Chains A and B, each alone.
Chain A
Amino acid sequence: MARRGNPSSIINANMTPMIDVTFLLIVFFVVVSQIVDRDAVSMNLPAPSQAVAGIPDNQSRVVVNIVPLEHGDVAGIVVAGHTIAWDSMHELSDIVETRLRGGATEVHLRADRTTKYSYVHQVIEAIRAAGLNPRLQLVIEGEQP
């Protein structure tokens, strides 16, 4: 059926609601997205029941990751973007010391829940050996909302 009226008029879809929704989505993702935390290696952090831990301050920190392997063994250490083999533990002390002298005040220790304590203890002692009495934060998984 032929349309009546002015033949020069162009039929446009109404774009306004779509643009509204799209902008809302953009604002949502801009707010939610955080700068990707490249310090953190993905692992299963310990999750004790009824945890009473605090929320760590992410400012001025050094993150020390103990990279897990199967059966509680470890592959190495990732600290501030550097990967360190398990044999060269003194490098860990050096890097942590440099970072602490550079203004960091806290050392975040991230270890998998299945990692054996003997490994974690060696890392804690290496951090202690860096001197400067840092505050260690033992990172665990937060409560799921």
Chain B
Amino acid sequence: MSHSRSRLNKESARLANNAARVAITLSALVSIAALLAILCFLLLNSFRAVGEVGLWEMLSGTIWHPTSSPPAFGFLPAESGSLWVTLIAIVCAMPIGVGAAVCLSEFISGRVREVAKSLVECIATVPSVALGLLGMTFLVPWIRTFFSLPSGLTALAAGLMVGILCLPTIVSISEDALTAVPDALRQGSLAMGNTKWQTAVKIVVPAAWPGIFAAILLGFGRAVGETMVVLMIAGNSGLVVQGPFEAARTLPGTIASEVAEVVRGGLHYSALFAMALVLFLSTFVVNLIAAQVIDRSRRRWSR
């Protein structure tokens, strides 16, 4: 009697085991499905704009007048704005971020390190609208008075704020790469009479370079895609941006500010999806490269 019950138990456990394997594998496929679905919906909805305006005309057009007649759907104002804002953000965040990561992994340790690390990373939990509000209230007026500009809503203001926003990405991923370098390399270098700084510059940073490069790429991706900060403080001008002191619009900012009022299914709507497609593909490429680099460097040290 108890024998047959235990067999029944075993049988049901095996069934549950197999069912679980199938269910778990299926839910892992959700991420692939979601990514494909995003791509499909962007493609489907941007067909109309690509057909009526033309892909190259959109990518290189210098005028964005979606609501005038005849409308003009040139992405260049937004593309140039995105480029300037991202460039400023990365130029500010890269040296500071990599320097902070080297400092964290090579020069300080213990409790101080834990505290500093969580402090740097905690800005990632602040919603970007709040950062936009701070930028509006403090950074924008400062920039206006400091550079005596007619308006502080510029690519520079947005770039600085976005730089702050992508700092934690750069710091924590490069720090991971630096700490993954085996200690034997450090000790070897120190034993040869190198100072800590020489060890860091000549041995550890070169060894961790792929990871640091990936961190910068991911920071770049984060900066390109940032919406709210840019929407609130970049100025949203319609012109092609020539320099940091001009008002700018970016790809995400344009989409976010216009998508709520657009006629669904119309040409403008479709053009916004084409813009999102450009954004999606560019971050996709950047992330693909970063993921590949991180994967390879992880394999290298785990051997």
A and B pair up: no
